[in-house]
């Protein structure tokens, strides 16, 4: 990973924060594209000792913001090897409480954002024989009530991943990861960690709730050139929950 340049959208909080940290520890330079300015400043300062990290203010729901972030990244590093489309928002409420704006905003951030990030970065990724990793979700394949835009957008990410893989291969490999229950509360800006119960952990066939390192480890696996035969795939990392039949 030494000398490579990675972009992590939403890389200052939650799963993205651990992805950023692990990539820096492996020798990558990392551009964090993040909308929350306080989180961006805090994490960039904290991670400077790990390597070359670039703070880039970016709203992935806006193409112009993405294009500015891309230009700032290229000006700083001159290359792009890895794009991690991680930034996303989640909203859940009864159907009749959804507005058209709510629906569109969810799709713009979670689906249109990754598409546009991939589009603007593709020429540099082609030049470096790079990779794109999209963060999908088990909610692309199963749902909790009320999570309409999130589930629909993550289903779109699953399809977008294989579409990009076929369209951009062999120069760029594209895969996605579908996390299950990942406890990110300790990595959210200005939020306290939740206390998980014994039952929370024991309901998982793996025996525990997931943590962001579980996803970061899969990112590192897919980023390894030794795994260059893998593209167009989705990897579910959920402690086995999506394979569990539950009867009440």
pLDDT at residue 190 tops 70: no
Share above pLDDT 90 across residues of the chain, in percent, rounded to a whole number: 88
Do 230 and 222 touch, CB atoms closer than 8 A?
Answer: yes
Share above pLDDT 70 across residues of the chain, in percent, rounded to a whole number: 98
Q: Is residue 248 part of a domain?
A: no
Q: How confident is the model at residue 193 (pLDDT cuts 50, 70, 90)?
A: low
Q: Count the neighbouring beta carbons within 10 Å of the beta carbon of residue 94.
A: 9
pLDDT at residue 134 tops 90: yes
pLDDT digits (tens, 9 = 90+) for 14-29: 999 999 999 999 999 9
Q: What was the pLDDT predicted at 246? A: 83
Q: What backbone phi and psi angles, to 5 degrees, belong to 126?
A: -65, -40
Q: Is residue 97 part of a domain?
A: yes
Task: Assign 141 to helix, strand or coil.
Answer: coil
Q: Is residue 37 part of a domain?
A: yes
Do 79 and 125 touch, CB atoms closer than 8 A?
Answer: no
Q: What Cα–Cα distance (Å) separates residue 133 from each residue in 41, 119, 162, 189, 233?
A: 24, 13, 11, 24, 10
Q: Is residue 145 part of a domain?
A: yes
pLDDT at residue 195 tops 90: no
pLDDT at residue 248 tops 90: no
Q: Which helix (H) or strand (E) holds 100?
A: helix 100-107
Q: Is residue 53 part of a domain?
A: yes
Calpha distance 77→64 (Å, rounded)? 20
Residues 179-187: what's their mean pLDDT? Answer: 88
Q: Which of 77, 59, 55 is nearest to 67 (CA)?
A: 59
Q: What was the pLDDT predicted at 68? A: 98
> Can you give the CATH number for the domain in which 80 is found?
3.40.50.720
DSSP state at residue 11? T
Residues 190-199: what's their mean pLDDT? Answer: 75
Q: Which of 9, 7, 39 is nearest to 24 (CA)?
A: 7
pLDDT at residue 189 tops 80: no
Residues 135-160: what's their mean pLDDT? Answer: 96
pTM of structure: 0.95
Q: Is residue 224 part of a domain?
A: yes
The parent domain of residue 204 ranges over 5-243
Q: Is residue 68 part of a domain?
A: yes
Residues 29-40: what's their mean pLDDT? Answer: 97
Calpha distance 231→248 (Å, rounded)? 38
pLDDT at residue 194 tops 80: no
Q: What was the pLDDT predicted at 107? A: 98
Residues 217-229: what's their mean pLDDT? Answer: 97
Q: How many distinct structural domains can be found in the chain? A: 1
Q: Catalytic site residues?
A: 150
Let me know how long the chain is. 248
């Amino acid at each position: 990973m030494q000398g490579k340049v990675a972009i992590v959208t939403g890389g200052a909080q939650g799963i993205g924060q651990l992805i950023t940290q692990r990539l820096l520890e492996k020798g990558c330079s990392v551009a964090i594209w993040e909308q929350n300015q306080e989180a961006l400043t805090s994490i960039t300062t904290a991670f400077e000792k790990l390597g070359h990290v670039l703070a880039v203010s970016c709203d992935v729901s806006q193409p112009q913001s993405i294009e500015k972030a891309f230009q700032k990244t290229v000006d700083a590093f001159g290359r792009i090897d890895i794009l991690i489309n991680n930034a996303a928002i989640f909203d859940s409420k009864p159907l009749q409480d959804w507005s058209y704006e709510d629906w569109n905003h969810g799709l713009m951030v979670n689906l249109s954002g990754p598409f546009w990030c991939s589009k603007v970065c593709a020429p540099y990724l082609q030049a470096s024989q790079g990779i794109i990793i999209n963060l999908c979700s088990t909610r692309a394949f199963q749902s909790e009530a009320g999570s309409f835009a999130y589930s629909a957008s993550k289903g779109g990410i699953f399809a977008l991943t294989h579409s990009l893989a076929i369209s951009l291969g062999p120069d760029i490999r594209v895969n996605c990861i579908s996390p299950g229950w990942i406890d990110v509360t300790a990595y959210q800006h200005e939020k306290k960690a939740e206390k998980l119960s014994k039952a929370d952990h024991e309901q998982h066939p793996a025996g525990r709730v997931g943590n962001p390192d579980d996803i970061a480890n899969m990112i590192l696996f897919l980023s390894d050139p030794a795994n260059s035969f893998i593209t167009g795939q989705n990897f579910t990392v959920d402690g086995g929950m999506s394979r569990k039949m539950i009867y009440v």
